[in-house]
Structure 1
Amino acid sequence: MPVVQVHLKAGRTTEQKRRLVEKITDSLVEIAGANRERVHVIIDEVPADSWGRAGKLLSDD
C-alpha cells in the first residue's frame, strides 16, 4: 500500500489538489506497478506563518 505525503504551502485550489492526487497516483501505477485502489496520497497544507526558510517565515516575504 503506497502512501505519499505532500507538504505544500496553503493556497492551492481543490481542483489543483485533485489533479495532483490523480497524477501522483497515475505515476505510482505506471512506474511502480502499484494497485490504483491501494494508493493513498495525503496533502498536508501548511500556513505561510508556520513554515520557515532561510531563517524567515514564508509569511514575512
Structure 2
Amino acid sequence: MPFISVTVTEGRSDEQLRRLITELTEATVRAIDAPKQNVRVVIHEVPETHWAAGDVTIQERKAKAND
C-alpha cells in the first residue's frame, strides 16, 4: 500500500490540491503498478512563517523579493 506524504505551504486552492492528489495517485499507479484503491495521499499544509531555509522563512523571502 503506497503512502505518499506531501508538505506544501498554505495558499493553494482546493482545486489545486485535488489535482495534486490525482496526479500523484496516477503517477504511482503507472510507476509501480499499484492498485489505485491502495494508493494513499496525505497533504500537510504549513504556514509560510513555519517553513524556513537558512534561517529565513518563506514569508520573509517573499517580503524581501517584493522590496
Measured in 1, the distance between the counterparts of 2:15 and 2:56 equals 30
Unaligned runs of 5+ in 2: 62-67
Cα RMSD, aligned residues only:
0.8
Determine the structure 1 residue equivalent to 2:36. 36
Q: Secondary structure at the match of 2:30?
A: helix
Q: Which consecutive residues of structure 1, in runs of 5 or more, have no partner in the other structure?
A: none
Q: Identity across aligned pairs (percent)?
A: 33
**More displaced 10-residue stretch of structure 1: 27-36 or 51-60:** 51-60
- Counterpart CA distance in 2 for 1:58 and 1:23 is 25
Give distance in 2, aligned partners of 1:28 and 1:57.
Answer: 31
CA distance in 1, matches of 2:18, 2:59: 25
SS of the residue 2:7 aligns to? strand
